[in-house]
């Protein structure tokens, strides 16, 4: 059979294998030894699947909800057909667009004749692939590509290997996860890649199972095309040609360092090279460069993450850099260091959450525009500090494509925060290279999630960044105590950041997990002498009164006061609104005791943070107009924090 191409922006790792052959209605597939032949895939758009489309739970009556994903499950009563699968408004010839052909039409409604039609919540699919012991020994992983609408979970031999846009599935009660609504109502199906580690594969028959979720009871369409599942060996060789993507410049452990992170589609040895821009001759990269060997590993999307740290940078110098190796290099990029002492400015941005609106390209455009507006107004900014939720779906590489699209992310160092939409995949750790990360503090909750608390010094500020997805307060506190004890004496100011705002007034303000953090975090924050806390998550702007030990520090402080003077232990908390416009939450408790300034105009914001020896000023402005009287870069709120 012919193997359908992967409809994704990336080239999947080249591994040596033969074209797959569908052998039975169960799609039992055999391949020759992986090391012996050309590229191929174990499944394609033409693979025959057994599937259930009546809205029933395939594990009904069983103790284990995943019994239907294992080899022994009896699916003989299910239908059998090849993909791709889809439905659109109940049409016999569904049209989801030229890029999304439908081979097998799915029933859209539970009861087509009902007065009020209700969509099938979840469809279930099963197929099988076969590997010999020799083939399995040569496989490091399987890399897959799936196009879906609205959400999927993918299992191999009973183990979940991918969850795409499945946050609502995981938050549902255990006995409802097989049949529920989930995902987001995007304009078109999304394509993402995933990895099946060799550890879940067996010699012989391997069962592949997919749960396809509808977004809501009145959704107009649904789609599934598992287009490829490619065996990949552990090495593709030093001489392999590579495509470099996902390059991002990160903040270093101090102002003389920068980190780099990028993806490669082959596992070849790669480096980062940098030199003063003055050494460039026209467009030719300098011949005298500093070369840094990159480290990395295979990603969950089937590529290879590469990390490198540039050290020994000189102040007030423009640098050029590139990454790759051999004849495969990224475009040449530039960044400029500033003075290593004295005043500085950085940008603080709330939840880009690309894909959160259901229209990824619109979110991307808003995100790019905010950074363009912000940099034009603040050309000497020295960092871009994100409050977290960089993407909507933790493992969705198209969302990362859009998040990483702004050119500023290759020239101004980025500071990332682990948000609740980032944490569910290793993709967050694979896309970003953060300094002085402690994986045991704010630890990942599973082998497939991301975690860790980290810190860095920049001029006279100690920045500490927590993975607030973890509510292991003892571990967070131990980390902060150690870092403040060791690094605090070097700093004039201490700034803390975490995603889940504990002092905001929108949709999450009374959520049980936020109340728990609000109860447990402030006392240690005050005790350790943090001055400013930067937060996200609530997609609405809130500036707090000064807070000490979880209580109002000074009852005489007035709402919206332009300058506040903090005694020891008194902390200013700022929660950012959306920087991309992907999602906004309405204000719920505008009179909350901690809220000094509240703003929700449903326009994109960013904050300019000016740091001097005497003060930190946070000025929050609009990156899009909210009316004739509030143009771009008009001020939402401005506050200057001083220490007594």
Lowest mean pLDDT among 285-294, 354-363, 384-393: 285-294
Structure tokens at 28: 């039992």
- What pLDDT does 427 receive? 96
Q: What is the mean pLDDT of residues 123-141?
A: 91
Share of the chain above pLDDT 90, in %: 77
Phi, psi of 291 (to 5 degrees): -110, 130
Lowest mean pLDDT among 102-106, 265-269, 320-324, 333-337: 265-269
- What pLDDT does 145 receive? 83
Lowest mean pLDDT among 298-307, 390-399, 481-490, 548-557: 298-307
Q: Does pLDDT of 39 surpass 60? A: no
Lowest mean pLDDT among 336-340, 428-432, 570-574, 626-630: 626-630
Lowest mean pLDDT among 266-270, 310-314, 476-480: 266-270
- What pLDDT does 557 receive? 97
Give the chain's length.
644
- What pLDDT does 143 receive? 80
Q: What is the mean pLDDT of residues 56-68?
A: 94
Lowest mean pLDDT among 233-242, 280-289, 376-385, 590-599: 233-242
- What pLDDT does 185 receive? 62
Q: Does pLDDT of 1 surpass 70? A: no
Q: Does pLDDT of 18 surpass 80? A: no
Q: What is the mean pLDDT of residues 218-244?
A: 76
Lowest mean pLDDT among 133-147, 353-367, 400-414: 133-147
- What pLDDT does 370 receive? 98
- Biggest CA–CA distance in the chain, Å, is 78
Going along the chain from its start, the domains and CATH numbers come out as 21-232 (2.60.120.260), 238-340 (2.60.40.10), 341-643 (3.60.21.10)
- What pLDDT does 186 receive? 61
- What pLDDT does 251 receive? 98
- What pLDDT does 2 receive? 28
**Cβ-count burial 85-124 (b if 16+ within 10 Å, e if not):** bbbbeeeeebebeeebbbebbbbbbbeeeeeeeebbbbbb
Q: Does pLDDT of 352 surpass 90? A: yes
Q: What is the mean pLDDT of residues 344-355?
A: 98
Share of the chain above pLDDT 70, in %: 92
CA separation for the pair 164, 143 (Å, rounded): 15
* Mean pLDDT across the chain: 90
Q: Does pLDDT of 78 surpass 70? A: yes
Q: Does pLDDT of 478 surpass 70? A: yes
**Judging by DSSP bridges, how do beta strands 79-82 and 151-156 pair with one another?**
unpaired
What band does 461 get if pLDDT is binned at 50, 70 and 90?
A: very high
Highest mean pLDDT among 285-289, 297-301, 469-473: 469-473
Are 221 and 105 in contact by the 8 Å Cβ rule? The answer is no
For residue 213, list its beta bridge partners.
122, 151
Q: What is the mean pLDDT of residues 88-103?
A: 91
- What pLDDT does 22 receive? 30
| Beta-sheet strands, E only, within 379-492 | 384-386, 414-415, 437-438, 453-458, 461-465
Q: Does pLDDT of 3 surpass 70? A: no
Are 86 and 96 in contact by the 8 Å Cβ rule? The answer is yes
Which of 600, 476, 451 is closest to 538 using CA atoms? 600
pLDDT digits 0-9 by tens, 561-600: 999 999 999 999 999 999 999 999 999 999 999 999 999 9
Q: Does pLDDT of 26 surpass 60? A: no
Structure tokens at 203: 């010699």
What band does 191 get if pLDDT is binned at 50, 70 and 90?
A: confident
> What's the first-to-final CA gap in the chain, in angstroms?
75
């Amino acid at each position: 059979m012919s193997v359908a191409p992967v409809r994704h922006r990336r080239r999947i790792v080249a591994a040596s294998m033969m074209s797959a052959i569908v052998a039975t209605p169960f799609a039992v597939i055999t391949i020759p030894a992986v090391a012996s032949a050309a590229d191929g895939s174990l499944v394609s758009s033409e693979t025959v699947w057994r599937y259930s489309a009546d809205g029933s739970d395939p594990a009904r009556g069983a103790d284990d909800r995943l019994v239907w994903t294992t080899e022994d499950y009896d699916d003989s009563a299910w239908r059998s057909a090849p993909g791709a699968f889809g439905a659109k408004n109940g049409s016999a010839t569904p049209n989801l667009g030229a890029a999304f052909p439908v081979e097998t039409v799915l029933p859209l409604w539970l009861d087509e004749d009902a007065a009020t039609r209700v969509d099938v919540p979840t469809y279930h699919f099963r197929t099988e692939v076969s590997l010999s012991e020799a083939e399995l020994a040569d496989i490091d992983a399987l890399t897959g590509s799936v196009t879906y609408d609205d959400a999927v979970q993918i299992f191999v031999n009973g183990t979940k290997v991918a969850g795409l846009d499945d946050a609502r599935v995981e938050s549902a009660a255990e006995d409802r996860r097989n049949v529920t609504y989930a995902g987001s109502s995007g304009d078109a199906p999304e394509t993402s890649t995933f990895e099946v580690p060799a550890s879940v594969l067996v010699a012989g028959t391997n069962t592949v199972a997919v749960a396809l979720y509808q977004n809501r009871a009145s959704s107009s369409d649904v789609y599934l095309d598992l287009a490829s599942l490619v065996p990949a060996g552990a090495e593709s060789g030093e001489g392999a040609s590579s495509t470099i993507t996902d390059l991002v410049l990160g903040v270093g452990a101090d102002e003389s360092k920068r980190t780099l992170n990028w993806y490669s589609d082959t596992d070849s040895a790669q480096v980062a090279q940098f030199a003063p821009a003055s050494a460039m001759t026209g467009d030719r990269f300098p011949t005298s460069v500093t070369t840094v060997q990159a480290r990395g590993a295979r990603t969950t999307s089937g590529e290879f993450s590469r990390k490198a740290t540039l050290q020994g940078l000189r102040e007030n110098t423009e640098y050029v850099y590139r990454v790759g190796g051999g004849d495969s290099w990224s475009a040449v990029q530039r960044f400029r260091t500033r003075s290593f002492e004295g005043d500085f400015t950085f940008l603080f941005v709330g939840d880009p959450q690309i894909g959160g609106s259901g229209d990824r390209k619109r979110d991307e455009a808003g995100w790019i525009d905010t950074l363009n507006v912000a940099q034009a107004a603040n050309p000497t900014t020295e960092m871009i500090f994100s409050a977290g939720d960089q993407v909507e779906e933790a493992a969705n590489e198209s969302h990362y494509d859009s998040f990483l699209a702004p050119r500023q992310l290759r020239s101004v160092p980025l500071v990332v925060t682990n948000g609740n939409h980032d944490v569910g995949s290793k993709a967050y750790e694979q896309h970003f290279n953060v300094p002085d990360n402690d994986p045991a503090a704010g630890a990942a909750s599973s082998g497939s999630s991301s975690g860790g608390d980290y810190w860095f010094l920049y001029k006279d500020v100690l920045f500490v960044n927590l993975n607030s997805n973890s509510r292991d307060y003892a571990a967070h506190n131990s980390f902060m105590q150690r870092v403040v004890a060791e690094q605090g004496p070097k700093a004039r100011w201490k700034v803390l950041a975490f995603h889940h705002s504990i002092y905001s007034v929108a949709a999450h303000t009374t959520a049980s997990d936020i109340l728990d953090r609000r109860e447990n975090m402030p006392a240690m924050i005050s005790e350790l002498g943090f001055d400013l806390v930067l937060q996200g998550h609530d997609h609405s702007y809130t500036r707090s009164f000064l807070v000490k030990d979880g209580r109002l520090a000074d009852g005489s402080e007035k709402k919206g006061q332009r300058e506040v003077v903090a005694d020891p232990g008194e902390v200013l908390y700022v929660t950012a609104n959306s920087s991309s416009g992907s999602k906004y939450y309405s204000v719920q408790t505008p009179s909350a005791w901690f809220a000094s300034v509240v703003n929700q105009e449903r326009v994109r914001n960013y904050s300019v943070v000016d740091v001097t020896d005497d003060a930190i000023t946070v000025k929050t402005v609009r990156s899009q107009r909210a009316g004739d009287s509030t143009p771009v870069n008009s001020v939402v709120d401005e506050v200057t924090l001083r220490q007594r």
